[in-house]
Amino acid sequence: MSDTNALLSLPLFPLGTVLFPGGLMPLQIFEVRYLDMISRCHKAGAPFGIVSLQKGKEVRKAGSDAEQFNTIGTLANIEHLERPQPGLMVIRCVGLQRFRIQRCEQLKHGLWIGDVERIEEDHLVAVPEDLQPAARALQQLLDTLRDRGQDDDLLPLHPPLRLDDCGWLANRWCELLPLPLQLKQQLMELDNPLVRLELVADFLNRAQIAG
């Protein structure tokens, strides 16, 4: 593991969803094992890792089996945190870089930590002409939301818009489309952003969303 790409004892948050780099994710935190972790990360300005579940539930129950989760996840940085009542945090986090778990363990109070290696970020790849309908469809969706009075701060995208970037465009559609969890995980793991967008565009065509 390269020292420059390694993160040791990264707190892990197994969820029934996939966080993509550049994506926004709101979360309500109420389990004791995560309240302290989120508080520490927020205070230190440090990320935590979101990994998608393969087995088990997001909320831990007495006597339940330990969670099983994918070994590739995404670093999450806390952008906003509120404490509306004792024992509850409402946060908004943004996806950073993907990572691969090299080793992990569950601590006594239930929190998972892992030694991880960060995965190289997507290279900037311009959206080719035949995939431009995917970019236009996303722009039309955003325009429709704004026409309906949706405030820019509440749009499901993290600015700035990068409609000319294959990786960014594919990631945003992956978040918005009702794709199965494992398919989203597979798309997130793809290292080639052009291939990722081609697969997304195929789904958009079949769903008659773009073409």
Q: Which domain holds residue 39?
A: 6-118
Examine the domain organization and report whether 173 and 101 are in the same domain.
no
pLDDT digits (tens, 9 = 90+) for 134-153: 999 999 999 898 888 777 66
87 & 21 share domain: yes
DSSP 56-72: S-SS--TTPPPPEE-SE
pLDDT at 183: 96
Among 118, 148, 176, residue at a domain's last position: 118
Establish if 135 belongs to a structural domain: yes
Query: What pLDDT is stored for residue 3 in this prediction?
Result: 66
**How would DSSP label each residue in 176-202?**
HS---HHHHHHHHH-S-HHHHHHHHHH
What's the total number of domains in the chain? 2
For the stretch 18-74, pLDDT in tens is 999 999 999 999 999 999 999 999 999 999 999 999 987 766 665 566 789 999 999
Contact 95, 41 (CB under 8 A): no
pLDDT digits (tens, 9 = 90+) for 74-123: 999 999 999 999 999 999 999 999 999 999 999 988 899 999 999 999 99
Confidence of residue 156 (pLDDT cuts 50, 70, 90): confident
